Amino acid sequence: MLSASDVRDYILQGLACDHVQVLGDDGTHFEAVIVSPAFVGKNMVQQHQLVYKALGDRMRQEIHALSMRTFTPEAWGKLDVRSA
Amino acid sequence: MDTQELIKNQVTANPVVLYMKGSPKFPQCGFSSLAVQILQACGVQNLTAIDVLQNPAIREGIKQYANWPTIPQLYIHGEFVGGADIMRSLYESGELQQMLENPVA
């Protein structure tokens, strides 16, 4: 069964990220927080498309649902300050 | 008409189109259900909901159309807006309500 850490590895293989956290233990539904410099200057649709591209066919075959929140390193940094 | 043309006609002929699993009354997936709830919270009256489970060609074709591998997918005046996560984010920031009120950007 696909684990959250498998999904994390798949994302990291296809996309250079500063931070990836994936949750989900039913094998098909996952939630991810992804911080990548590749997201700079891109809108939310384009950011999610980069993650989908990294996952490739796995998104069509193995993963039923991936809920994600994407951040640029700068946006993520501001978020950390707020929650600290 | 091929599927890509059919989809293009659907999203341009109707102001607000949601491709989903099931119907607004009986969604067959949690994300499709969330998408419908968000649109209802925005007060959308003119929603065109397309059940991809009733049409396998559209179910596959819509993934190519916007280069987006998941369902639901929302289109406003022919423009791809996003899936359930993006809809929720745009709703929380108030942007989705604006897009639905002033659909010709």
A32 within 8 A of A69, measured Cβ to Cβ: yes
The pLDDT of residue B105: 44
Q: Do A69 and B83 touch (CB under 8 A)?
A: no
pLDDT one-digit tens code per residue, B55-70: 999 999 999 999 999 9
What is residue B101's predicted lDDT score, i.e. its pLDDT?
86
Residues 6+ apart with CB under 8 A from A11: A17, A20, A22, A32, A34, A51, A54, A55
By the CB < 8 Å criterion, does A46 face chain B? no
Q: Tell me the mean pLDDT in the region B90-104.
A: 86
Answer yes or no: do A49 and B68 touch at CB < 8 A.
yes
Query: Do A45 and B82 make contact, defined as CB atoms within 8 angstroms?
Result: yes
Residue type, A81: V
Burial of A63 (0-12, 13-18, 19+ CB in 10 A): buried
Q: Say yes or no to pLDDT of B4 above 70.
A: yes
What chain A residue is nearest to B84 in terms of C-alpha separation?
Answer: A67
Distance CA B97, CA B33 (A): 18
Q: How large is the ipTM?
A: 0.83
Distance CA B52, CA B35 (A): 14
Q: What pTM does this model have?
A: 0.89
In whole angstroms, give the CA distance from residue B32 to residue B35.
5
- A78 band by pLDDT with thresholds 50, 70 and 90: confident
Top pLDDT among A1 and B104 is at A1
Query: Residue range B11-39: average pLDDT?
Result: 97
Is residue A52 within 8 angstroms of chain B, CB to CB?
Answer: yes
Q: Is B92 left (phi over 0), alpha (psi -120 to 50) or beta?
A: alpha
Say yes or no for a CB contact (<8 Å) between B82 and A44: yes
Segment B37-43 shows an average pLDDT of 96
CA distances from B41 to A31, A39, B20, B96, B99 (A): 24, 30, 17, 11, 14
CB atoms within 10 A of CB A34: 26
Q: Where are the domains of chain A?
A: 4-83
User: Given 3.40.50.10440, 3.30.300.90, 3.90.1170.50, 3.30.70.360, which CATH number is that of A4-83?
Assistant: 3.30.300.90
Residue B72 near chain A (CB below 8 Å): no
pLDDT at A84: 47
Per the model's pLDDT, the better-predicted residue between A13 and A80 turns out to be A13
* B72: preceding bond cis by omega (within 30 degrees): yes
